[in-house]
Structure 1
Amino acid sequence: MAEPNSIADIDRVIADALRRRAELMGERTPLEVKIDQIEAACRSRGFAVSADGYVNQAAAADLLGVARLTLRNRRLYRGSTIAWRSSGRSVEYQITSIAEELLSREKGGK
C-alpha cells in the first residue's frame, strides 16, 4: 500500500483499520453498516467520494431519493440536518450525515 500523503488519507487509513477491527470483533453499529452501504452505492453508481467522506449535491440527492433542488432548498430555507460544505461554487454533503438521515427515516423519522 502506498504511503498516505495527507491528513485525510491518514484518517481514511485509520478509519478502515478500525472498521476492519470492528468487523472481526462483531462490533459494527447500524450507522457504520449504513455508511458502508452508501460508499458501496457510490462506487457502483460512479459517484466520486472525497477522501474525507463527502459527495457532490447530485450524488447526495440520488442517495437520499430527492431532487437536487429539494436538497438545495432544505439547505437554504429549512436548515438542513445533513452536514454540508461549500467547495468553490459547488456544495458537498457528508456521507455520515446522509447515513444518519437514512437511518432516521428507517426508524420512522422524516
Structure 2
Amino acid sequence: MNKHRNWDPTRRSYSYHCHVYADGSYGFKGPFLNTASTLLHRALQDENVLIVKFAEDTESSRAKIHSKFLSSIFHKVAKEGIWLGRKHYRIFGEIIGFRWKRELQK
C-alpha cells in the first residue's frame, strides 16, 4: 500500500527536515506525513513545519573556528531564510518565554 495515496492537506500535517552544512549548503528530507498535529504544528498554527539542523564539527582542534563559522552561517540563514518549494521560511520558531514567534511568506 502506498503511503502517499492519502495525501490530504485538510487532515494531515507535514514536517520537513533541513540540514545546513558548514559550507552553507542545504540538504532536505521530507515531507513526512503526520496523522496528528504535533506541538510545533499547533504552536506555529501551520500544517507545514521546517525543522532545521546545523552540522557540527566533532574534532576538538577545529571546534572553536568551526563554531564561529557556523554562527555566521546561522545568522545568514536566519536573516535570508530558506526557500522550500514556493514557501519562504524566514524565522523557524523562536521561543520567547512560552510564546512561539514565526514568519512565513508564500
TM-score (norm 2): 0.22
Q: Which has the higher contact order (CA 8 A, sep 6+)?
A: 1
Max Rg structure: 2
Structure number with higher strand proportion = 2
Structure number with higher helix proportion = 1
TM-score (norm 1): 0.21
